[in-house]
Structure 1
């Protein structure tokens, strides 16, 4: 078994200017706070799409910069979305109905805000001198494959961005939408806004996860496909080898370490990371996360397949094995 010191050298991030703006590919995006962004065609918005990082086809990321005193226009979309504030301060204005009050939440660097599916919303930069940056996690590729057969058109006919559907079970203009917080299990919190997620208190380390590793889930916005988790790893600890059934992406909130990836060829590739990097292990690869210092990771996983197969999705296990339907139908396992 051979080891490659840094997979980024063998699979470097590739930036490409396309008709729909700047796009990135690879397994890691370095330093999203200063990562290159570019204006969208015909729009005063600076972005970089990370949709294809890690070869993902169901989980996307979108890096957006809002100019000083600026805002992203009022819009809505059917895809599930949550945004991590990388830098700056501002507010999100949101409503479900066309003619109703606007719910407002203020945010700053380190916060996480959920956007309920198809709710009207806009993000505003409250600073007149400095830009604000957000990294959003979305299930847009999955929705595009369902509604467009593989690609989104981003036109007036786009079903993801211009649908009139109402989903009041996700958001019904509740005044306390952004302030509700409820412990639903020892390691799951129901909330729609997380203040300073890197400082959230974590459960005790769990030997099932690895060494000095802990995990906390956040049920946000009634989302069914995007599973949000805070991963903590103590210095010198690790999250054990595992191979999840869904696509995952991770933002390094704090600390440094490495991810060891093992593919079907048995070769181990080592990907180093530090605070501010985004890591996208490819689906199907066995991975192990090792901490050099105390680490906090924001991990988002698309659990659409797990939910469809009636596997644990609200608190998904590290490894999601496919159900043994043949054994079950044949009267059980030998």
Structure 2
């Protein structure tokens, strides 16, 4: 009998192991003698839901998390520290894990066959990572660090403070993986090593990397994702900056974006997968699906907010980001799938199908972006009303004709073509 990581079995595994014996005559007549009134109901099992029930961790749901810093946690046996699992309404193949390591504490060593991208919310410490225990690599981090553990490598987090806890949030593709492979042992007790993901050479987390066209930074470790300088990406609106990330040779897609005080970005539309973690600033998001915006939802955010730009796991939604605070607003799009490096669907090298290109091109020209001149006038009215509450001035005069504020960034539009 196959057991899980802690001796558990999923019901589907037992059913597959226990096939009823039939002779040839029964096989010949089982369909002709079928009586729906007497036949048992075929059981459908969600292996991720079963894992949640048995994991012993606090589970949070809802549309979004307003404040990860104050999120309720409790002891999580697998981690060996306080933590919680977050599974939002827009999640399907992804979830979020929050862990808090106490002063001078550490997590249990762990490895797993799913992608995980990790952001340090608070504190300082170190992480050891290894395939071979005699060749551990240990790197230090502080608040704002961002990294992805190599697939199925062992790792362990340590709190470097003797007086303060450290808190991390990660986004994973555990739900999709456990629903595909069913057996917990495959996920957590798999001996397979990916030798190209973590070599024996020191310096895996040095922070070095390679910059490519399209603002793509390939690296293993970002020591300060909350403050690092980034190239211009005004095509997405408001004179913003951005960097696209390829992390640890995993199938992880992330990017970081920032936009100025008194501005907002252009709306765009896509399906589930993106997880937006606010690392700085105060503002809100608007999310809607219907053309008349009758289903409009406003989500206020701040440093430590986490939200998905979709309200379910099946549909495409428009969403838009607004800065009403006194500092630039920055967020990380944390996504443990849809790799920027490895294609995940046919024809993805065609610029007209690449998300990062379509994101800055008007819907009228084959993209997924709503230009300022095409947005509903209510959007700007909502923004100026929110700015007034915070005593801030609108700086969209160069971008929106109805703006009552002052000139700000100039408008710039993208094209449905590859980078030069």
Q: Does 1:288 align with 2:329?
A: no
Q: 2:298 is matched with which residue?
A: 270
Q: 1:235 is matched with which residue?
A: 261
Any unmatched runs of 5+ in structure 1?
1-16, 325-334
Q: 2:5 is matched with which residue?
A: none
* RMSD, aligned CA: 2.5
Residues of 2 paired with 1:198 and 1:319: CA distance?
A: 23
Shift of 1:315: 4.6
Q: Does 1:138 align with 2:164?
A: no
Q: 1:177 is matched with which residue?
A: 204
CA contact (8 A) 2:119 2:147 kept: yes
Shift of 1:43: 6.4
Aligned equivalent of 2:104, options 69, 78, 90: 69
Q: What secondary structure is seen at the aligned counterpart in 2 of 1:158?
A: helix
CA contact (8 A) 2:288 2:318 kept: yes
- Once the two structures are superposed, the pairs formed by residues 25-40 of structure 1 within 5 Å of their partners are 25-40=61-76
Aligned equivalent of 1:45, options 69, 81, 92: 81
Residues of 2 paired with 1:169 and 1:43: CA distance?
A: 27
- Once the two structures are superposed, the pairs formed by residues 318-329 of structure 1 within 5 Å of their partners are 318=359
Q: Does 1:197 align with 2:231?
A: no
Shift of 1:302: 4.8
Shift of 1:264: 4.1
Aligned equivalent of 2:59, options 10, 19, 23: 23
Q: What secondary structure is seen at the aligned counterpart in 1 of 2:175?
A: helix
CA contact (8 A) 1:191 1:220 kept: yes
Residues of 1 paired with 2:61 and 2:104: CA distance?
A: 31
* Greater helix proportion: 2
Residues of 2 paired with 1:212 and 1:256: CA distance?
A: 18
Aligned equivalent of 2:279, options 253, 267, 271: 253
Residues of 2 paired with 1:220 and 1:248: CA distance?
A: 16
CA contact (8 A) 2:146 2:223 kept: yes
Residues of 2 paired with 1:34 and 1:66: CA distance?
A: 14
Q: 1:308 is matched with which residue?
A: 345
Q: Is the alpha carbon distance of 1:280 and 1:186 closer, same or farther for their aligned partners in structure 2, counting shifts above 3 Å?
A: closer
Q: Does 1:165 align with 2:192?
A: yes
Residues of 2 paired with 1:280 and 1:202: CA distance?
A: 23
Q: Does 1:298 align with 2:314?
A: no
Q: Is the alpha carbon distance of 1:119 and 1:292 closer, same or farther for their aligned partners in structure 2, counting shifts above 3 Å?
A: same
CA contact (8 A) 2:91 2:272 kept: no
Q: 2:155 is matched with which residue?
A: 121
Residues of 2 paired with 1:245 and 1:316: CA distance?
A: 16
Ranked by relative contact order (alpha carbons within 8 Å, sequence separation 6 or more), the top structure is 1
* Greater strand proportion: 1
Q: 2:417 is matched with which residue?
A: none
Q: Does 1:56 align with 2:91?
A: yes
Q: What secondary structure is seen at the aligned counterpart in 1 of 2:257?
A: strand
CA contact (8 A) 2:117 2:336 kept: no
Shift of 1:248: 0.9
- Cα deviation, 1:278-318, whole Å, max 9, x if unaligned, reads 11222522111122232000111354397223426695642
Residues of 2 paired with 1:39 and 1:77: CA distance?
A: 20
- Cα deviation, 1:146-165, whole Å, max 9, x if unaligned, reads 212xxxx6xxx421111111
Q: Does 1:90 align with 2:131?
A: no
CA contact (8 A) 1:116 1:170 kept: yes
Shift of 1:211: 2.3
- Cα deviation, 1:42-76, whole Å, max 9, x if unaligned, reads 864211111x2133012221000112111111121
After the TM superposition, which parts of structure 1 deviate over 6 Å for at least 4 consecutive aligned residues? none
Q: 2:18 is matched with which residue?
A: none
- Cα deviation, 1:91-128, whole Å, max 9, x if unaligned, reads 1011123x531101001111112201001111111212
Any unmatched runs of 5+ in structure 2?
1-51, 367-420
Larger radius of gyration: 2
Q: Normalising by structure 2, what TM-score?
A: 0.65
